[in-house]
Amino acid sequence: MRRDDVGVAGFFEDLPVLVFILAGTLTILISFVSVSGAIQSEEREENLGILANRSLDLIVVELLLDSPAACVNICSVCETELRNMIEELLGGPCFAISVVMVHPELKWLSNTPVPEQLPAHACSSSRLLNGFTDDGRIGVLLVRVLVW
């Protein structure tokens, strides 16, 4: 640092510029990290959605396998081992299946337990099917798969 009649000169003039440049660089880095995290989260949810739809398609095909009229026998739904079939597809217990008759009466036909603490990312898919009740009426079944 030197001193003369004009003023004081030295590296102190560069410090405000350096702080300004570092603040801008830090802002850009923080923005990049938050955007990349959001993109990864969106991709993970999209993949879970595709997996949930594929699992649901497999369940529906399995339920309709014995029914050429696209109408499920409700007694066979209660006896079908849906959990084992989906575990083979997904490779582990990272899903829940529920089959509910919503018409003419509300009745749970099949349900797998859901853990108390779900992970932050989960996706579900559901479909309505027609089904024959025990007394010969046609009921509406709601099949839902939750994947995490």
pLDDT digits (tens, 9 = 90+) for 61-90: 888 876 666 778 777 777 777 777 777 777
pLDDT (0 to 100) of residue 31: 93
pLDDT (0 to 100) of residue 29: 93
Strands 107-111 and 71-73: unpaired
pLDDT (0 to 100) of residue 144: 92
Low-confidence ranges of the chain (pLDDT < 50): none
What are the residues whose beta carbons fall under 8 Å from the beta carbon of 138, sequence distance 6 or more?
Answer: 71, 130, 131, 132
| Contact present, 148 and 95 (Cβ < 8 Å) | yes
pLDDT (0 to 100) of residue 126: 94
pLDDT (0 to 100) of residue 11: 65
| Contact present, 40 and 48 (Cβ < 8 Å) | no
pLDDT (0 to 100) of residue 51: 87
Phi-psi region of 91 (alpha: psi -120 to 50; beta: other; left: phi over 0): left
pLDDT (0 to 100) of residue 82: 75
Residue 135 φ/ψ, nearest 5 degrees:
-95, 15
Which pair of tokens denotes residue 11?
A: 């590296």
pLDDT (0 to 100) of residue 28: 94
Which secondary structure element, helix H or strand E, spans residue 41, and what is its range?
helix 14-64
Domain boundary assignment for the chain: 10-147
pTM for the whole structure: 0.66
pLDDT (0 to 100) of residue 9: 61
